[in-house]
A = this chain, B = another copy of it.
Amino acid sequence: MRSGTDTPQLERTFTEAGRRAQIVQAAIDTIAEVGFARASLARIGERIGISKGLIGYHFAGKDELIRQAVSEILEQGKAYMIPRILAEPPGPGMLRAYIQSNLGFMREHPSYMLAIAEIKRNGLTADGRQRFYGVADMDGFVRELAGSLSSLQADGHLRMDFDPYVMAIAIRAAIDVVPRHLLDPDFDIEIYASQIAGVFDLATRPEETSREPADRVLEGTAS
């Protein structure tokens, strides 16, 4: 085995870098397609025409491969969302941008979201801990969001009478449930995104600014 650590070290050759990326992509696609439980190394390799032994050559083990896949997805998600959120002035618009950009990323990369949902659900160790998140674990997202909500509250941009932690859990739940409905033909992620943004806008926007016509608030921006 070449790279035994979790932190991606310098890749020696051009071939290795390409293979590693190819294998990570195959892992994501396979997990999204057949689920975590059935995404064996043999099946992942089969997708790109290599043996499972080769995966062991490029990665220390299955765990490192999964960690790389998670890292890849989270990096791309952050790169997509952060500029869209920071483009908003401080206030309720940032929460709307958070929800809309997260769901927009899901719409553009459904296999990423299906894969990471699978990994999150099936990657529990015996004591209930997550195995595949090091620095950026997904439950941390709730705390991050709760902190942001709390700051916006403190600055008077959101109403004060809700618990930021509770609200953050509910918002993340409304977002994280989406992968389960991506294959449902009755489910329209565009409508869902704008309406969910409207629900939490109503629940968090200070009352003095909530006098806009209701349809304006609930329909949201067309993105």
CA distance A177 to B170 in the complex (A): 8
Within 8 A of B (CB), among A198-223: 198-200, 202-203, 207, 214-215, 218-219
Across the interface, which residues of B come within 8 angstroms of A202, CB to CB?
202-203
Interface residues on A, range: 35 or more
A170-B196 contact in complex given A122-B37, A161-B215, C-beta closer than 8 Å:
yes
A87 at the interface (CB under 8 A from B): no
Closest to A201 in B: B203
A177-B169 contact in complex given A159-B214, A161-B218, C-beta closer than 8 Å:
yes
A176 at the interface (CB under 8 A from B): yes
Cross-chain contact of A174 among B126, B173, B192, B219 (Cβ < 8 A): B173
Least distance between A29 CB and chain B CB atoms (Å) = 15
**Chain A interface main SS type:** helix
Least distance between A172 CB and chain B CB atoms (Å) = 8
A111 at the interface (CB under 8 A from B): no
| This chain's copy number in the assembly | 2
A34 at the interface (CB under 8 A from B): yes
Across the interface, which residues of B come within 8 angstroms of A203, CB to CB?
198-199, 202-203
Could you list 15 further interchain pairs (A-B, Cβ under 8 angstroms) beyond the known A34-B126, A38-B126, A172-B177? A35-B124, A35-B126, A37-B122, A122-B122, A128-B183, A161-B218, A162-B195, A162-B199, A163-B195, A165-B186, A165-B187, A166-B192, A169-B181, A170-B196, A199-B203
Interfacial residues, chain A to chain B (CB-CB below 8 A): 34-35, 37-38, 121-122, 124, 126, 128, 159, 161-163, 165-167, 169-170, 172-174, 176-177, 181, 183, 186-187, 191-192, 195-196, 198-200, 202-203, 207, 214-215, 218-219
